[in-house]
């Protein structure tokens, strides 16, 4: 399926957001003209996302259920005619005090360099550019590298950065899409765009999974997404059943900035390493004969690969990627039990412990799993990480089952979904160690004011939370947060910031290209 080309903002935003968005787009296009003294040719757009359930399991290749939000990243682009020699990119942001204007060359030979050690906003554009150039080279049969044309770009993002709504993926996806379009590729395949964006975002220093990019590109207005990574990346739209009271998701910022690029060696990238090592450790502990399959997990093997190999070898399943959901869930339940029985060290495993089980040296262990994305840890909590992943994968299946065959009483459905969200929160906080007290407080306050379920969303360690709230309790929940959290913790908080802090989120639409040339109306 191709990324759509849109001709009207009505196709992108819900009715209630239209007037604000129109003003914002007009401002973007007129600022483009003043900055570059010409009009933009097109705007590429990709939204942020909120993850409903399935936290920290995408990089172990388990299913997740995110949805796009209305907040997005826009790149207004004007293409320079191709000339001999390197092309130039000028890139500015409507918020130029925070994101200074940059200019750089695209080399005619070899790839663009990205310095992941500097926290530079245009690195995300460069990541998208790099990935798109590789895809263009493949699609146009041009060897390994296709030097892009030059561009003038003005960026406007409304996804808060470090806020858990995945501004980075929105920016990388919108950038890659812009480069594809600028180089004449009008039929960008959604799956190819997601795959390239996942890999290219890793150039910025975080060894990420694929959920955010999938949500940003595949989402359709009004539906959440069931994203699968195995046997291959796919996404299915999920409708929410009509309920009374209406099922509403509310997103609340903790305003604890979670900068996962800075904390990656002790937070995000470390979790990726722990999950990967848990997979290898379990495979050795159970004496699996085949090596774990190479897959799209960030380090090449995954807990999902372990599950498939285990049941294929131990229980004679022919191809575990074809196992029906009820059996798959039983397998996961068995893996929870096996993890409890075989990964027994509550206080974690040292590099020496793990190297001994994997029958490699510590140097080999470091080189294989911890060199491209270095981590800092003395002990690796393999037991806890595997338990979170298997249990969270079960919760996703249960959540999906509730949505696809809802119980007769709405109350049972809402309570059932809410309970799963609450369990995720507890597991993220106590087992996966990706919570923080502020997120916990937001959840406690919401539940006391009527939410069915509450949890952190995204990577955690700050950022954002998501709450399933009956429509008639949204005001009460918002008020509880305003009085007992925001005004208490941030006494000087402005009305504008308070307004941004809480968003009632309807599922938004995914990436698109908007052709500006020749258009007088938005
Ligand atoms: P955030 O940090 O919220 O964008 C990150 C990863 C996801 C996923 C979640 C945890 C990136 C770009 N995204 O999301 O792939 O692993 O954490 O579920 O790193």
Q: Is residue 413 situated within a structural domain? A: yes
434 or 146, greater pLDDT: 434
pLDDT band at 142 (very low <50, low <70, confident <90, very high): confident
One domain for residues 206 and 154: yes
Residue with token string 């044309």? 149
Same domain? 231 vs 360 = no
Residue 506 above 90 pLDDT? no
- Residues 350, 379: contact at Cβ < 8 Å? yes
Query: Do the Cβ atoms of 89 and 149 come closer than 8 Å?
Result: no
Closest-CA residue to 271 (of 421, 434, 119): 434
Distance 260 CA to ligand 1 centre (A): 9
Is residue 288 domain-resident?
Answer: yes
Backbone angles phi, psi at 105, to 5 degrees: -100, 150
* 2 three-state secondary structure: strand
Residue 522 maps to a domain = no
Best CA proximity match to 440, nearest among 254, 310, 214, 284: 254
Is 161 in the same domain as 217?
A: yes
Task: Average the pLDDT over 321-344 and give the result.
Answer: 97
Could you give the percent of the chain with pLDDT greater than 70? 100
Which among 474, 13, 518, 81 has a CA at the least distance from the CA of 247?
Answer: 474
Whether residues 92 and 222 fall in one domain: yes
CA-169 nearest atom, ligand 1: 12
Distance in Å, CA 435 to ligand 1 centroid: 14
Kindly state whether residues 443 and 412 are assigned to the same domain.
no
At which of 374, 406, 433 does a domain end? 433
Instruction: Count Cβ atoms below 10 Å from residue 146 Cβ, excluding itself.
Output: 18
Ligand 1 atom nearest residue 54's Cα: 18
Residue 521 lies in a domain: no
Q: Are residues 482 and 377 in the same domain?
A: no
Mean pLDDT of the chain: 94
**What is the arithmetic mean of pLDDT over 3-29?**
93
Looking at the fold, whether 146 and 72 belong to one and the same domain comes out as yes
- CA 434 – CA 331 distance, rounded (Å): 26
Q: Are residues 465 and 374 in the same domain?
A: no
Sole residue written with tokens 């990627």: 321
In angstroms, rounded to a whole number, what is the distance separating the alpha carbons of residues 201 and 405?
A: 36
418-462 pLDDT tens trace: 999 999 999 999 999 999 999 999 999 999 999 999 999 999 999
pLDDT of residue 392: 98
Q: What is the pLDDT of residue 139?
A: 87
pLDDT value for 21: 95
At residue 464, the 3 state secondary structure works out as strand
So what's the pLDDT on residue 377? 97
CATH number at residue 249: 3.30.70.3170
* Structural domain of 404: 268-433
Residue 250, in any domain of the structure = yes
**Tokens representing 198?**
């996942």
Average pLDDT, stretch 392-413? 96
- Do residues 230 and 274 both lie within one domain? no
424 and 443 in contact (C-beta within 8 Å)?
no
The answer to the question of residue 297 being in a domain is yes
Residue 439 exposure: Cα atoms within 13 Å on the Cβ side: 31
- Model confidence pTM above 0.85: yes
For residue 520, being part of any structural domain is answered with: no
Given a contact cutoff of 8 angstroms between Cβ atoms, the answer to whether 156 and 146 are in contact is: no
| pLDDT value at residue 362 | 98
User: Residue 323 sits in a domain of what CATH number?
Assistant: 1.20.1440.340
81: confidence class by pLDDT, cuts 50, 70, 90? confident
Residue 356 belongs to some domain of the structure: yes
Residues 43 and 128 placed together within one structural domain of the fold: yes
Residue 275 CA to chain centroid, in angstroms?
A: 18
Q: How far is the CA of 509 from the centre of ligand 1 (A)?
A: 19
Number of domains in the chain: 3
| One domain for residues 196 and 275 | no
Q: Are residues 472 and 457 in the same domain?
A: yes
Ligand 1, CB within 6 Å, residue ranges? 51, 55-56, 58-59, 164, 166, 168-169, 201, 206, 208-209, 211-212, 260, 458-459
């Amino acid at each position: 399926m191709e990324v759509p080309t849109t001709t009207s903002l009505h196709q992108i935003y819900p009715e209630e957001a239209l007037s604000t968005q129109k003003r914002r787009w007009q401002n973007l296009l007129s600022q483009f003209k003043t900055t570059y003294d010409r009009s933009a040719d097109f705007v590429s757009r990709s939204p942020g996302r909120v993850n409903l359930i399935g936290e920290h399991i995408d990089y172990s290749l388990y299913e997740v259920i995110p949805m796009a939000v209305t907040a997005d990243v826009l790149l207004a682009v004007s293409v320079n005619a191709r000339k001999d020699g390197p092309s130039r990119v000028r890139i500015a942001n409507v918020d130029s005090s925070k994101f200074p204007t940059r200019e750089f060359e695209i080399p005619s030979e070899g790839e663009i360099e990205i310095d992941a050690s500097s926290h530079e906003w245009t690195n995300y554009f460069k990541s998208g550019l790099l990935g798109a150039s590789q895809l263009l080279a493949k699609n146009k049969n041009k060897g390994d590298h296709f030097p892009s044309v030059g561009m003038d770009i003005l960026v406007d993002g409304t996804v808060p950065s470090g806020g858990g709504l995945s501004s980075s993926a929105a920016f990388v996806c919108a950038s890659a899409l812009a480069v594809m379009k600028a180089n004449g590729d009008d039929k960008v395949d959604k799956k190819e765009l997601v795959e390239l964006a996942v890999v290219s975002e890793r150039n910025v220093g975080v060894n990420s999974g694929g959920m955010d990019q999938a949500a940003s590109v595949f989402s359709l207005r009004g539906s959440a997404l069931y994203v699968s990574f195995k046997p291959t990346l796919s996404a299915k739209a999920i409708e929410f059943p009509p309920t009374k009271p209406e099922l509403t998701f509310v997103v609340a910022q903790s305003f604890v900035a979670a900068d996962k690029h800075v904390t990656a060696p002790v937070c995000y990238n470390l979790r990726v390493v722990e999950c990967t090592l848990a997979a290898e450790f379990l495979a050795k502990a159970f004496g699996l004969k085949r090596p774990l399959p190479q897959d799209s997990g960030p380090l090449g093997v995954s807990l999902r690969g372990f599950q498939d190999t285990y049941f294929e070898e131990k229980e004679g399943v022919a191809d575990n990627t074809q196992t029906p959901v009820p059996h798959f869930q039983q397998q996961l339940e068995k893996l929870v039990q096996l993890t409890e029985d075989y990964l027994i060290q509550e206080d974690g495993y040292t590099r020496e412990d793990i190297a001994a089980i994997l029958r490699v040296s510590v140097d080999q262990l470091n080189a294989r799993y911890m060199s491209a994305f270095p981590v800092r840890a003395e002990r690796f909590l393999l037991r806890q990480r595997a338990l979170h992943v298997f249990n969270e994968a079960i919760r996703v299946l249960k959540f999906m089952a509730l949505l696809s065959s809802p119980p007769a009483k709405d109350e049972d459905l809402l309570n059932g979904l809410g309970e799963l969200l609450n369990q995720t929160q507890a597991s993220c906080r106590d087992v996966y160690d990706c919570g923080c007290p502020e997120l916990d407080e937001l959840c406690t306050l919401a539940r006391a004011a009527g939410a069915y379920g509450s949890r952190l969303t995204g990577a955690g360690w700050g950022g954002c939370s998501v709450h399933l709230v009956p429509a008639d309790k949204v005001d009460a929940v918002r008020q509880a947060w305003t009085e007992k959290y925001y005004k208490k913790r941030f006494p000087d908080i402005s009305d504008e910031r308070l307004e941004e802090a809480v968003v009632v989120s309807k599922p938004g639409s995914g990436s698109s290209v908007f052709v500006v040339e020749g258009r007088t109306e938005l």
